[in-house]
Structure 1
Amino acid sequence: MALPSLTRVFELLLERFGSQSWWPADDTFEMMVGAVLTQNTAWRNVELSIAALKEAQVMTPLALHRLEHQELQVLIRSSGFFQRKSQCLKNLAAVICRDYQGRVDSFLGGDLHAVRQRLLDQPGIGPETADCMVLYGAGLPIFVVDAYTRRIFSRLGLLDAKARYDMVQRYAMQHLPADTSLFNEFHALLVELGKVCCRSRNPRCEACPLNQHCRSAFSR
């Protein structure tokens, strides 16, 4: 079986699921907060935390910076790992307030590599979280890799299941045009496919729009 091109994969996913309009947030800082909160948890849990932060009127860098750790932990408890995540958010808010006069656009300003490294320098922010902020927050073209991406690319036969984050990212960016809108939509579509069809256990191959191109589906 010939391997499908990533462009064809994108086309099939878009045809099946339509535009995902991701990332759901009222502003860039809310998007960044969501990227931290969604680490190791389902988005529905993040939505509860975001709603609590908005209700408390602390969804700004300055408000989070001034908020006590214990208060923040209560507000984001639904997202899990709330102690670690509160520390990350407090640090992020402090840096934005101290070094960038509270301006999120200034914090995310610069070329792709500079912005990405700035984010990676912050405690609690790894490659996936940083890349989400680069793509959805700064609007710069970088391909976000997550567990869904690895699973789907592996089952399609494109990459080994144990391929490192940077290897998966490099593969995608070598086979797709460097387009922010494309990377944005593709990431969201892969997440949707992973939730609906390409599950870690009991995948629904019969309902998958990629099943005619998937080595894993043919082997079942």
Structure 2
Amino acid sequence: MYLTTRKRAATSPTSPKKAATFPTAPKKALWTRAVAMAIVVTGTTAAYAAPAAAAGTDPIPASVTAAVSASKAASEAADEQALGLDEMQLANARTIVEVGLDLGLSQRAMIIAVATAMQESALYNLASTALPESYDYDHDSDGSDHDSIGLFQQRPSAGWGTVAEIMDPAYAAKAFYQALQRVDGWATMALTVAAQAVQVSAYPDAYAEHESAATKVVTTLLS
């Protein structure tokens, strides 16, 4: 079950080099499609559960739908500010966590995945100037490291999937998690060792610097 669904048009801002700093954050609720929500409307608390009411029952009032949307937007904006992430970064981090939950993985796995994406792409879904086809798909920015693309800088030429697949953040996260699970003892390894076992990076120790920030992000999204 995905906790949040997002759609956004492809944009191409300046390619980031490092993820933003992550100050201490208060915990915020992670919105889900399947969790009942209580919203105060005109002084009365009314609980509504997603999805929409079944046929034959009274529809959810437009005022409640608007209140839910406004409350959700306010919560997401608070998370962005508290974690030092912009909207795109937070959406990508949320996708990584959602996929981990769908796969039944531990919080540790999610922290490793988010830290890896922080190092590889600063939590942006990157197209590559070396792979023009990657610009045909939704992307946040771009890079130029061979055919490395997406949140985890996975390469089609290395068997990670097609360009279309890797440019889908949910697919990229699932591919990372599946590779991580094939690493013997990953759950007890140092984060940077586990990440490196999957990524085979030229900078094997670089993932460690993101562990604290990734822990804060994942803890916030799961709270």
Task: Identify the TM-score tier after normalising by the shorter chain.
Answer: under 0.3
Q: Which structure dedicates a bigger proportion of its chain to helix? A: 1
Normalised by the length of structure 1, the TM-score is: 0.27
Q: Which structure dedicates a bigger proportion of its chain to strand? A: 2
